Amino acid sequence: MSATRFDIRGQVAVVTGGSGVLGSAMAHGLAAAGAAVAVLGRRLAPAESVAEAIRAVGGSAMAIAADVCDREALRHAAAQIEANFGPVDMLVNGAGGNRPGARTSPDTSFFDLDPLALREVVELNFDGTLAACQMFGRGMAERGRGCIVNISSMSAMRPLSRVVGYGAAKAAVDNFTRWLAVDMARNYSAAIRVNAIAPGFFLTEQNRDLLTEPSSGRLTPRGETILAHTPMGRFGQADDLVGTLLWLVSPAAAFVTGVVVPVDGGFSADSGV
């Protein structure tokens, strides 16, 4: 297969949650492959730091402060991006996260979970993904081409203990990914593709305290259990997502839509037996 099948030079990409650990790695990967990248984050300074790092190595990037749960902020972001880079060709929905009040613990049972925290987790992970797809997907529907990649989670595929709100929200993202793939292809254009990546266990700020001891950095019992069920025997590194992302947004995946691709070191394949 020719390398041009993976060519995304000159394309315009939006990465929500682009200032986070995983989002910034994906933004860097898209820029290194030749895309102009809009880095969206809740706060401008961290997003600008990512954009500056991309520009420092010759890439094209801009930073925008936008909360994916704020539709007016997304509308303003879309106008800024089009004015600076042109129409959006690809959207990566990396914004997401968890809240301590939305997960169980030895001190907090399911019955004591904070309803507000649960709503916030669902709003950020699912509603924010849906809102960004509406805002940036409309232009794709009008032009008859485009690519959306949502970021799911292992907790959507295999319910994990403790993270009830996060797992439910990401399961909704999986279902929505498949629904939108069908809707776009049938009602707008077969050249609009919608897929998702389901990362396995990566050390990020939202789960570091669940997987490692803050004082020593040693694995927690949960971290040990996860690695015991990960055939490759390690946590993921942010760059591990980039190859799959570049495939999904490139012409090489022209006949791929409605799939959720695990990038998990084999976790989802391991029965534990």
Confidence (pLDDT) at 101: 93
- Is pLDDT of 239 > 60? yes
Mean pLDDT to the nearest integer, 53-68: 98
Mean pLDDT to the nearest integer, 238-246: 97
pLDDT in tens, 107-150: 999 999 999 999 999 999 999 999 999 999 999 999 999 999 99
In sequence order, the β-bridge partners of residue 148 are 91, 194
Domains and CATH numbers, the chain: 3-200+236-263 (3.40.50.720)
- Is pLDDT of 3 > 90? no
pLDDT band at 1 (very low <50, low <70, confident <90, very high): low
**Cα 66–Cα 69–Cα 71 angle in degrees, nearest 5:** 75
Full-model pTM = 0.94
Active site residues: 166
Residue type, 76: H
pLDDT in tens, 66-80: 999 999 999 999 999
- Tell me if 68 sits within 8 A of 131, measured CB to CB: yes
| Torsion of the alpha carbons at 138, 141, 145 and 146, rounded to the nearest 10 | 30
pLDDT in tens, 208-238: 777 888 888 888 888 888 999 999 999 999 9
